[in-house]
Amino acid sequence: MERQIWPYIGRRLVMTIPVLFGLTVIVFFIMALIPGDPATAILGSYATPENVAQLNAQLGLDKPLVQQYLTWLGNVVQGDFGRSYNQNREVIEIVGERFGATLILAGTALVLCSIFGLLVGIISAVYQYGWADKILTLIVLIGISTPAFWLGLLMIMLFAVQLRWLPASGMFAVYGGGDLPDLILHLILPASTLAFIATGVIARLTRASMLEVLRQDYIRTARAKGLNERRVIYRHAFKAALVSIVPVIGIQAGFVLGGAVYIETVFQWPGIGSMLVNAISTRDLLLVQGGVLVVAAAYVFFNLVADVVQVMLDPRVST
Amino acid sequence: MNKVEVTGLVKRFGGGRTLFRRPIPAVHAVRDLGFRVRPGEILGIVGESGCGKSTLAKMLVGLEYPTDGEIRFDGEPLAAAGHKPNLKVLSRRVQYIFQDPNSSLNPRKTIREILSAPLKHLRGMNAEERERRLAELMEHVNLRPEFLDRYPHEFSGGQAQRIGIARALAAEPDILILDEPVSALDVSVQAQVLNLLKRLREEFQLTYLFISHDLGVVRNFCDRVAVMYFGRIVEEAGVDDLFSRPIHPYTRRLLDSVPGVETRVLPPESDAVELPDPYHPPQGCAFAPRCPNARDDCRTSDPELADHRPEHRAACYHPLEHP
Amino acid sequence: MTTATANATQLKKRSGRAGPLALLLRNHLAGFGLVVLGLVVLTVLVTPWLPLPDPNATALSDRLLPVFSDGHFLGTDQLGRDLLSRILWGTRVSLAVGITATLVAATFGSVIGLLAGYFAGRVDGVLMRGIDMLMAFPYILLALAIVAVLGPGLLNALYAIAIVNIPFFARNVRGVVVTLRNREFVDAARLSGKGNTLILLTEVLPNVLPVIVITMSTTVGWMILETAGLSFLGLGAQPPQADLGSILGEGRRLIINAPHVATIPGLVIFVLVMSINLLGDGVRDALDPRLKAGALLRPAARTQVANEAKTAARGEQRGLLEVKDLHTEFRIGQDIHRAVNGPTFHIEPGECLGIIGESGSGKSVTAMSLLGLVASPPGVIASGQVNYRNENILGVSDDRLRHLRGGELAYIFQDPLSTLHPLFTVGDQLVEAMRAHHPYSYREAWDKAVTLLENVRIPNARERAKVYPHQLSGGMRQRVSIAMALANEPQLLIADEPTTALDVTVQAQILKLLNQLRREQDASLMFITHDFGVVADICDRVAVMYAGELVEVGPVAEVLANPAHPYTQRLIACVPDVNRKQGNLTEIPGLPPKVSDLPVGCKFADRCDRAVERCRQAPIDLEPLTDQRQARCIFAREVL
């Protein structure tokens, strides 16, 4: 009765195709809905109608929407997201550059908030209503209630401006930086700010699932077998709780990627989030399109990983 | 005319294929089922979990739709061929008593609201008529009228089941489908509910279909019994005849398994037997792998339900001998 | 749910339960949140009438005044605008936008969730795929994309945030509706002539409302944060309109020279959201039925034992295990539910003692109390002794207790699906049971596990050891539970309704097996059941329980043939006989007494047709009738 994991992963990968397809549809048509005319935007308000029409034809904007979409999709599949008319560079180039920075920041934050979230949740559940639980619950609540951008500013004021321990912004020092220690130094403030905000959801869920699991009959069985309490909690209860926590860590990846938008703006981290904010304010729409699509695809992929992990943990889920 | 007549009833769950052409496993919950209930009779349906008795019950009240076959009440089909039944019409004739009395009452509604629903929607009564009828209903099931304004959680299991019975009576049906109505109750309360049901049947000339896994209750409550195994009826007879002289080895096995009985006829079952897999049903008689009488013919074809004695049918090639 | 919690829940239901508001106010943090939020709301409501400068009046001569300046309590910003005034007006905007976004998201999300959950099938498929599509975007990113389309602006930010939150409501509501849909009361409503619309509105919606309220109260703070975030990025409120986020955003470039311009609005957001979240948690706790029932309390490793119950065993104990005057109660709020009221009994070596009673009689709680397995809180063993080898188990150290559990004393529980761990293989769970008591290597233990499975007659044991519990049938699972209980050659097996969840033919097999193995291993068996037939089949002696007390004890054959206590008599008469038709069945009128309010005298008196004045005046003792039999009734001797 061994389960086949690889065919499941294969099928699950196939199932992401319609999701990715849906993403492109949404992203494309959202952009197509935008009022105003890109050609006018590019040429400026002094352009003659003939010039605008000519550029529209050149960009393929006079064709029916569906055809435009298919052309665009064809290009996207080949990695051609168009050119950013603000920076006059290929979108894929800019996004590629920026994406790595976001991945470093969000990845670190996700790892941190998962570790702390699980730890805090377990401690809170085990010492339910004890002083540790009360203090941790309050800290978690503070984390959930704090605006990320404000916390970022406070961190800069304290650690960069007042204490001068850590750099306030950027990913590398302007002069002489560029190595790993430099990156880590720059990463500490933004990553821990992001992680602090994101820990709460995981911690609360872990606490709730642990409490729910600890009430189950099979925990009583474990105790009736004469197992020690540590084994009951860390092996029996935690493994069962993890089944419902893993998908939420997947969702949390989206939260962290989103939160990165604020953090990157505050800490001037050269990631995709700050790029998007700029692109939106300058109405550089192809850049927005490309950025959103890439981040969403990464998120879809991450959720796929979470799903597979869950299936591996829980033999009851049919593959 | 028969009050209830069921012929060739089949219910299949699943089947077909997924988007990726993987076949969805199909389960035949009910396979080629047929029986009749006479007016005023109590027919017991006995079987173990997974034998399809609850699916049968749900089809009789229109909560599930048969894959094939026909159900008739007083000679009229339950629904026009190929159509879903009209519940508003059907529910005035057939009502259902649920197994779990607490789960069948909406926790956020008072008893008055729960009992008023069928009066309003099925019987079209105005407020004044309803008020009178509510009092009557509570009296029928031996509950004090002041209970009407309470919520379900304030009642014990037995009381809640009596409210369930009152709700069914409110529709003024002539057939009641009772799906394990006392199996969630303690024995001391079980008797209260069973006696009440007996009295109501006489008072309102009701016909009952009584589904149960408790052989003691069936023996004492029913007129006739049908034994189900794996989606089919394997034996059907008057209650005394079936219990004292069973024909099908499965019926005998059930009777032997009742805890506390003094005489056991069949040798104890081997430990290795497993119930048939509903996704891969055996070719012949479903009971053959567990049957002490099974021979080759049992494993190749499924026996038909046939008369073995007057008023006593069984589906078996090698029935038990009786002196 | 375990029997113990089920009892506790049921008990809780009967007692007067506190309303949600009372529960909310009892929660100090939530009360604090309510007060703070109330103050904030009140302040921003009266803001238009407060003597404040115009929030948009610029005065370049008064730029960046610090906090507590004359006429500007919180100072001024880079354009000389009064910060206090701006913040109060900004809070108005933030609150209004947050609440509106929540209402919009809740309405659309709940409708989608209701329809998808209720109609299932294709409707569910289409709606939820749409929701999944929304969820496929990282949270803020979708809001950014929407704002990018609609253009920056407060109203657009509101739409974006509302749309992004629709999936939360839709999924939560759908989840609840799916479970409700399968509840029998929905079928019952359908059979009462109600159509789909009516069922959705009058049967399903009232049960979903608490979930909607909980989701709203936990997301409104979130939405305020997110709209402030969009404004902070310059994508929400556009000048001259200002909310807290945009004030903060404008001030962030000044954090070195004039930090108050950015920090104060941030602090206000934090206080506002924090108070809302504190209140939201309180609302959630007050509305969650599981919390009310104590179903979310962490049970301790061992039942709480009062000092009176830790006394050392005195003198020679009777039998292998002796229970003396055991009292176990559930303390829920002000109520004390006395589930077990002083049963005294013993089990001889090699004997099978049946404990029979109806639901709520305390039979399972008695069994669980022996090794401290009653969930605690709320369970407490208040007094009594459980003596094994001249040692009171209730008073032993945790280590000693663990040694006894699953070692010399082993349990078999009722429902084998919920009592085996779903994520470990059957073999692993057996290995674990053995290795908790013996220093076996994993391989050694695994081989022994296979032998154990063979002993409980599981065919193909070597392969079956590798499967998970859900892959086995109910009967096979219960065999695994039995194997686990026998793993360390116990002296006593405590079986709590081990066959109740099984079909009758499977039950017969399991009973046969259990009886056989117990004799082979010469173990004693304590068998908890509600079925006289089962007692007749395998027990030597039987103890009848009613309202937490033993009312009769004696050899099975004698008690069944000639019951001495009226309760036993009537209970036996109630059981329908499979061998003959009885006409009308005997019934016992009335209900057992509430365990939170037990009568002084005989607890069965109110349902007994022989009860006289004396029965109700004082406690009746369990009197010996013969050297083997005891009964708790003043008329008991009449049967002899």
Nearest to C324 by CA among C296, C346, C302, C352: C346
Mean pLDDT value across chain A: 85
Which of A15, A95, A123, A145 is the best substitution to test chain C (most C C-beta atoms within 10 A)?
A145
Measured between alpha carbons, how far apart are the two ends of chain B, in Å?
Answer: 35
pLDDT in tens, B238-294: 999 999 999 999 999 999 999 988 888 888 877 666 677 777 788 889 999 888 888
Q: Which of B108, B191, B271 sits opposite C574 (nearest CB)?
A: B191
Q: Is the pLDDT of residue C338 over 80?
A: yes
Contacts of A229 in chain C (CB under 8 A): 301
Collapse the DSSP code of C413 into the 3-class scheme (helix H, G, I; strand E, B; otherwise coil) and give the result. coil
Within-domain flag for A264: yes
Number of domains in chain A: 1
pLDDT confidence band for C292 (50 / 70 / 90)? low
pLDDT confidence band for A22 (50 / 70 / 90)? confident
- Residue-wise over C4-26: b if at least 16 C-beta within 10 A, else e? bbebbbbbbebeebeebeebbee
Q: Does C534 touch chain B (CB under 8 A)?
A: yes
Measured between alpha carbons, how far apart are the two ends of chain C, in Å?
Answer: 42
Contacts of C575 in chain B (CB under 8 A): 187, 216
Residue range of the domain that includes A263: 97-318
Q: Does C582 touch chain B (CB under 8 A)?
A: yes
- Please tell me the predicted confidence (pLDDT) of residue C460: 87
pLDDT in tens, A243-287: 989 988 988 888 898 888 899 999 999 999 889 888 888 878 788
Residue with tokens 């739409």: C159
- Please tell me the predicted confidence (pLDDT) of residue A282: 80
Q: Cα A147 to chain center, whole Å? A: 17
Distance between CA atoms of residues C409 and C368, nearest Å: 12
**Higher-confidence residue: B71 or A50?**
B71
Q: To the nearest whole angstrom, how far is the Cα of C260 from the nearest Cα of chain A? A: 11
- Cβ-based neighbours of C400, under 8 Å, separated by 6 or more: none
Q: Is the pLDDT of residue A134 over 50?
A: yes
Which of C2, C137, C230, C476 is the best substitution to test chain A (most A C-beta atoms within 10 A)?
C137
Q: Which of C140, C255, C277 sits opposite A261 (nearest CB)?
A: C140
Q: Which of B48, B63, B108 sits opposite C190 (nearest CB)?
A: B63
Q: What percent of chain C has pLDDT over 90?
A: 55
- Please tell me the predicted confidence (pLDDT) of residue B94: 95
Q: How many CB atoms lie within 10 A of CB A159?
A: 17
For residues C14-38, average pLDDT: 72
The DSSP bridge pattern shows strands B4-14 and B26-37 to be antiparallel
Within-domain flag for A32: no
CB contact under 8 A, C145 and A27: yes
Mean pLDDT value across chain C: 88
ipTM (interface pTM): 0.91
Q: What is the CATH number of the domain that holds A260?
A: 1.10.3720.10
For residues C275-284, average pLDDT: 90
Q: Which residues in chain B (55-114) have CB-CB distances under 8 A to chain C?
A: 61, 63, 87-88, 91, 95-96, 98-100, 103-109
- Please tell me the predicted confidence (pLDDT) of residue C14: 39
CB contact under 8 A, A215 and C235: no
- Counted across chains A and C, CB pairs separated by less than 8 A come out at 244
Q: To the nearest whole angstrom, how far is the Cα of C322 from the nearest Cα of chain A? A: 19
For residues B86-103, average pLDDT: 91
Q: Does B15 touch chain C (CB under 8 A)?
A: no
When mean pLDDT is compared across C251-260, C488-497, C518-527, the lowest value belongs to: C251-260
Q: Is the pLDDT of residue A45 over 80?
A: no
CB contact under 8 A, B117 and C193: yes
When mean pLDDT is compared across A71-80, B205-214, C398-407, C545-554, the lowest value belongs to: A71-80
Is the peptide bond preceding residue B323 cis, with omega within 30 degrees of 0? no
When mean pLDDT is compared across A32-41, A286-295, C243-252, the lowest value belongs to: A32-41
Which CATH architecture is the domain C406-539 placed in? 3-Layer(aba) Sandwich (3.40)
pLDDT in tens, B193-220: 999 999 999 999 999 999 999 999 999 9
Q: Is the pLDDT of residue B323 over 70?
A: no
Q: Is the pLDDT of residue A144 over 60?
A: yes
CB contact under 8 A, C296 and A222: no
pLDDT in tens, C348-387: 999 999 999 998 899 999 999 999 999 988 899 999 999 9
Q: Which of C234, C406, C432 sits opposite A224 (nearest CB)?
A: C406
Within-domain flag for A309: yes
CA angle C123, C126, C129 (to 5 degrees): 135
What are the extents of the domains in chain C?
39-46+68-291, 406-539, 568-640
When mean pLDDT is compared across B32-36, C74-78, C382-386, C538-542, the lowest value belongs to: C74-78
Q: Which of C504, C513, C584 sits opposite B48 (nearest CB)?
A: C504
Q: Is the pLDDT of residue A131 over 70?
A: yes
Contacts of C13 in chain B (CB under 8 A): 153-154
Contacts of A254 in chain C (CB under 8 A): 135, 137-139, 141
CB contact under 8 A, A280 and C235: yes
Q: Which contiguous run of DSSP H or E holds residue C380?
A: strand C379-388
**Higher-confidence residue: C584 or B61?**
B61
- Please tell me the predicted confidence (pLDDT) of residue B251: 95
Q: Is the pLDDT of residue A72 over 60?
A: yes
Which of C287, C464, C568, C585 is the best substitution to test chain B (most B C-beta atoms within 10 A)?
C585
Is the peptide bond preceding residue B181 cis, with omega within 30 degrees of 0? no
Q: Does B269 touch chain C (CB under 8 A)?
A: yes
CB contact under 8 A, A261 and C228: no
CA angle C630, C534, C606 (to 5 degrees): 50
What pTM, to 2 d.p., does this model score? 0.87
- Please tell me the predicted confidence (pLDDT) of residue C272: 94
CB contact under 8 A, C433 and A226: yes
C415 token code pair: 């429902």
For residues A68-93, average pLDDT: 83
Q: What percent of chain A has pLDDT over 90?
A: 35
pLDDT in tens, C408-427: 999 999 887 889 999 999 99
What are the extents of the domains in chain B?
240-323
Q: Does B186 touch chain C (CB under 8 A)?
A: yes
pLDDT in tens, A88-125: 888 888 898 899 999 999 999 999 999 999 999 999 99
Mean pLDDT value across chain B: 90
pLDDT confidence band for C10 (50 / 70 / 90)? very low
Q: Which of A220, A227, A314 sits opposite C432 (nearest CB)?
A: A227
Q: To the nearest whole angstrom, how far is the Cα of C599 from the nearest Cα of chain A? A: 32
**Higher-confidence residue: A42 or B277?**
B277
pLDDT in tens, A169-184: 777 776 766 688 888 8
- Please tell me the predicted confidence (pLDDT) of residue A39: 63
For residues C506-524, average pLDDT: 90
Helices (H), C360-425: 363-370, 398-404, 416-419
For residues C142-153, average pLDDT: 83
B266 close to B260: Cβ distance less than 8 angstroms = no
When mean pLDDT is compared across B86-95, C255-264, C429-438, the lowest value belongs to: C255-264
Chains in contact with B via at least 3 Cβ–Cβ pairs below 8 Å: C
CB contact under 8 A, B220 and C581: yes
When mean pLDDT is compared across B307-316, C9-18, C558-567, the lowest value belongs to: C9-18
pLDDT confidence band for A41 (50 / 70 / 90)? low
Q: Is the pLDDT of residue C5 over 60?
A: no
Which CATH architecture is the domain C39-46+68-291 placed in? Orthogonal Bundle (1.10)
Within-domain flag for A175: yes
Q: Which of B104, B215, B259 sits opposite C184 (nearest CB)?
A: B104
Q: To the nearest whole angstrom, how far is the Cα of C561 from the nearest Cα of chain A? A: 36
When mean pLDDT is compared across A125-134, B183-192, C9-18, the lowest value belongs to: C9-18
CB contact under 8 A, C587 and B272: no
Q: Is the pLDDT of residue C323 over 90?
A: yes
- Cβ-based neighbours of C281, under 8 Å, separated by 6 or more: A141, C29, C30, C33, C218
